[in-house]
Amino acid sequence: MRLPWDLTVQPLAEPAVLRGMVLIVFTEVHTAPAPGAPAAGDARQAEMAQELLRSREELQTTREEMQTSQEELRSANEELQSTNEELQSTNEELTTSKEEMQSMNEELQTVNHELQARVEALSRVSDDLTNLLNSTDIATLFLDNQLHVRRFTTEISSIFKLIPGDVGRPISDLVSSLDYPGLIADSREVLRSLVFHEQQAPTHDGRWFGVRIIPYRTQDNRIDGVVVTFVDISDAKSLEAKMGEAMSVLRGRVADQDAELEAARQREGELRTARSLLEQRLAERTEGLPAARADGSAGQEP
């Protein structure tokens, strides 16, 4: 036996995710039984009534669940809208941050170019300074405030056994051919008094160096160690020794000439004395000669 059903079609407007869909509801229509129907039909109708009741309860439950789902969807939609707004705000902040980052990146690039130009300039200055120091043929040693090696020229290797790996080592650890035990003490004194110090010092192989210790001043007039220069004065010392020998010979010759001159003066004095005596005797003889002649003439007269 076929039972009649009511068909209900309801369009859905909310929530937004179900908008545009329709809800189809099938409802069973109960008709009054015909008179004189058998009892089996009554039982069937009772069963169908119970099923209808259950269906209505299930439908009611479904409607409540749908309402709950709609409310949850509505709440989720609101949360999504809020999240969307937050995302839009975050996107705007990110856009602003991106613009700021681009601006900072441009500034950093400018600063990087300036730093690179300064580094290149400093590198050129360092190369110029190195070439200048090496061209002077002056052994130069740069020490910090703790008298640790900071820098040196290639000529220093003839005095100190230095290699590039010795940068940072204290000068007291270095092996030197210079006979200058007071170098460390004089360097500390220059750091204390800020007055330069000069001294001549020999080496174990017979060379001589003029040692000059001066304070190392930075551009902001800050003392940051000492500079020690070693000028080879071996030729000057050799010439000085030769000049000393020549002066000794000259002094000897002058002394000999002084002795000869003194002897000549003595001879001159003796000659003058002899001359005076001779002149005196001659004068005496000259004075006695006329008297003798007068006596001779008087004896010959008649």
pLDDT of residue 41: 61
In this predicted structure, the answer to whether residue 225 has a pLDDT above a threshold of 90 is yes
Are 227 and 141 contacting, i.e. CB atoms less than 8 angstroms apart? yes
Residues forming a β-bridge with 142: 151, 227
Place of tokens 């003889």: 285
Dist. CA 224–CA 143, nearest whole Å? 8
Express each pLDDT in 14-42 by its tens digit: 766 667 777 777 776 665 555 554 555 67
Domain boundaries, the chain: 7-31+43-79, 96-135, 138-232, 235-283
In this predicted structure, the answer to whether residue 301 has a pLDDT above a threshold of 50 is no
Rounded mean pLDDT of 98-124? 90
Select from 98, 6, 121 the least CA-distant residue to 52. 6
pTM over the 0.85 mark:
no
Dist. CA 140–CA 228, nearest whole Å? 6
pLDDT of residue 247: 81
Looking at domain 138-232, which CATH architecture does it have? 2-Layer Sandwich (3.30)
